[in-house]
Structure 1
Amino acid sequence: MAQVVVVHGIGHQWSGPALMGQDVGPALRDGVRLGAGLRLEEDAVACAFYGDVFFEEGTRSSDVPPWDEYDVDEGFEAELLEAWWQAGAALDPGVVPPDESGTRALLTNRVRAALDVLSGSRFFGTYSDRMMVFALKQVRRYMNEPVVWQAARARVAEEIGPDTRVVVAHSLGSVVAYEALCEHPEWPVTDFVTVGSPLGLSLIFNRLSPLPREGKGAWPGGVARWTNLTDPGDIVAVVNELAPRFGAVVDESLDNGSAPHSLTRYLLAKKTGRAIAEGLA
């Protein structure tokens, strides 16, 4: 079994473990080599793929429904979109802050304003309305639907073996991996590396399993070291520092250039490579 297991985030529903591995594996091995001078074999890295669990059997297609502001559910989805809007305004001078929009009266108007503003931002500029709504729904479904989170965590469990020492998790994958590690303290994983993680966002944090106690999240299983890396321009990682929420997390920042949330750029970073290598030493 692999020494390092990578858990992806949202937006990979039309991929697969082998296909993702063609990008993830080389990027991680390059990051470890550049950051720590350590050369890893191809079979040292595996991808825990769960993108297909968001589709019902036999319904997987090449496109998403033509969703718009009328398809964003009140509650979790609307609140997550609001959090992205606030983060976007804080990072991008071209994004009008939510409190200046003048659209608080109706949910659909508020959502329409958020989608319009974010579609013109540096972070979401390449996203269509339907893709932003699809992202909201994937996060909501993982957090709220047992059949989805059980299947996603099971995919992580399938890749963990006696040789696995490091779990690297990106975006929503950091939530999946965190909860899987909490469920399995017997796993031999010593190092948890999160990149572009939303774990510190209250909307996510307060719904974690196990639930936080007195404002503190549980430590992930038998992990000895947890390193969290964030590009300050990464809107998904709204809360850059996880130590205040979880304890002895080593929080570090890095620069992914024009693609702040890119998984491959996070993996190629020397800081990420050093954190992974520490778990393999």
Structure 2
Amino acid sequence: MRAVRGPVPRSGDVVVLDVADLFAGRTEHDKKAYQGAGKASGEANGVATHDETEELTEALLSGWWTSATRIGKFEGHPDRRRRPGPGLSSHSSGSPNNPASQNTASQNALSRNSVSPGETRPHGATEPGAEAIDGSDVRARTSALSAALSASPYFRGSPELAAAEARALSRYLTDLKLRHEVRDRTQAAILPDTKVVVGHGIGALIAYEALCALSDAVSVTFVSLGAAMCGPQQVFTRLEPAPRNEQGHWPAAIRRWFNVVAHSDPTAMIAPQLTERFGPGIEDEVIEIKTSCGDLQPYLLDRATGRALATGLVG
């Protein structure tokens, strides 16, 4: 099993992509490997302007926030393997064991501004106390959305974590130089004898794009866990290659695709059934696990992931 973090390993049946650190520049290897990425002019290197990146960050947070307001309605549903319909609600935010109840201000922000699934707030309309989210300043809205998201256990009560995750994804989607460097490095880790590629979060997005570029040079089982492609529409429309007729490209390198999403993950519960975006053939499953931002272990310990890995290694 290989994790693409640090120097690229050269052998093994399974490649695991959990690579937020890779392009966030948090390790010494990455600081050297990607020195200057994103600092050159946007015109020369395909880097979006600061305003464009901030607007995308806000859009991502907005999508996650809407998803987070829905997730509470699914907590504690007796069917542990299926996501209940929007009319069911058994979540109690007042429980002392619920991390969300520990952040009253952010929790109130979520409830004030929540919308029912499928609803959209009319342009310019506001709810009492929602002025910061619906105002004209992008930075103020980003700050308010991050604070609201801190009520979600997924972000562990930290508005900084929500904002950092959104900015990391926004950077990957807008900084083409960095995007292609990361994707090239990922491609180099997928060898002819690789049987399974596992991608988590943004790593699933990177793995998907790398597999698209590999065509049928390899044939793998792809296991996407809490994939960024399950997030806001702004991610889906920016895929490389771009979707055609609202249909995502199916990589020739993928023999079989398992998509596993935690019911507690607001970044992936916007479109957890990837079949809706990429067409039939994906084996989607929403599982009931408690996971948090950047935490891969709960996914790896779940039976759904184990079954997918076993199928890829044996098949």
Cα offset, 1:149, TM superposition: 0.9
Q: 1:261, 1:74 → 2: CA distance?
A: 21
Q: 1:254, 1:52 → 2: CA distance?
A: 38
- Say whether the 8 Å CA contact 2:261–2:287 is kept in structure 1: yes
Q: Which amino acid aligns with 1:172?
A: I
Q: 1:89 aligns with which of 69, 83, 101?
A: 69
Deviations 1:85-104 (A, max 9, x none): 11111123643235542331
TM-score normalised per structure 2: 0.67
Identity of aligned residues (%): 29
169-178 or 145-154, larger mean C-alpha shift:
145-154
Q: What secondary structure is seen at the aligned counterpart in 1 of 2:141? A: helix
Q: Which amino acid aligns with 1:123?
A: Y
Q: 1:240 aligns with which of 256, 266, 272?
A: 272
Q: Say if 1:51 and 1:9 are closer, same or farther in 2 by CA, change over 3 A.
A: farther
Count of residue pairs brought into register by the alignment: 237
Q: 1:221, 1:253 → 2: CA distance?
A: 25
8-17 or 152-161, larger mean C-alpha shift:
8-17
- Say whether the 8 Å CA contact 1:242–1:249 is kept in structure 2: yes
Structure-2 residue corresponding to 1:40? none
Q: 2:204, 2:16 → 1: CA distance?
A: 10
Q: Does 1:185 align with 2:229?
A: no
Q: Does 1:76 align with 2:106?
A: no
Q: Does 1:208 align with 2:208?
A: no
Q: 1:233, 1:52 → 2: CA distance?
A: 36
Q: Unaligned regions of 5+ residues in structure 1, if any?
A: 18-49, 60-69
Q: 2:14 aligns with which of 4, 25, 48?
A: 4
Q: What secondary structure is seen at the aligned counterpart in 1 of 2:215? A: coil
Q: Say if 1:53 and 1:179 are closer, same or farther in 2 by CA, change over 3 A.
A: farther
Q: What's the Cα RMSD here?
A: 2.8
Q: Say if 1:135 and 1:54 are closer, same or farther in 2 by CA, change over 3 A.
A: farther
- Say whether the 8 Å CA contact 1:8–1:171 is kept in structure 2: yes
Q: Which amino acid aligns with 1:194?
A: S
Q: 2:32, 2:301 → 1: CA distance?
A: 26
226-235 or 151-160, larger mean C-alpha shift:
151-160
Q: 1:52, 1:71 → 2: CA distance?
A: 27
Q: What secondary structure is seen at the aligned counterpart in 2 of 1:142? A: helix
Structure-1 residue corresponding to 2:79? none
Q: 2:28, 2:69 → 1: CA distance?
A: 34
Q: 1:71, 1:52 → 2: CA distance?
A: 27
Deviations 1:160-189 (A, max 9, x none): 112101100010111111111011113323
Deviations 1:37-59 (A, max 9, x none): xxxxxxxxxxxxx79867648x9
163-172 or 102-111, larger mean C-alpha shift:
102-111
Q: 2:31, 2:227 → 1: CA distance?
A: 17
Q: Does 1:254 align with 2:287?
A: yes
Q: 2:250, 2:62 → 1: CA distance?
A: 28
Q: 1:189, 1:243 → 2: CA distance?
A: 20
Structure number with larger C-alpha Rg:
2
Q: What secondary structure is seen at the aligned counterpart in 1 of 2:307? A: helix
Structure-2 residue corresponding to 1:102? 131
Q: Unaligned regions of 5+ residues in structure 2, if any?
A: 1-10, 40-49, 73-92, 94-106, 115-120, 122-126
Q: Say if 1:176 and 1:16 are closer, same or farther in 2 by CA, change over 3 A.
A: farther
Q: Say if 1:137 and 1:206 are closer, same or farther in 2 by CA, change over 3 A.
A: same
Q: Say if 1:240 and 1:263 are closer, same or farther in 2 by CA, change over 3 A.
A: same
Q: Which amino acid aligns with 1:106?
A: S
Q: 1:195, 1:11 → 2: CA distance?
A: 17
Structure-2 residue corresponding to 1:266? 299
TM-score normalised per structure 1: 0.75
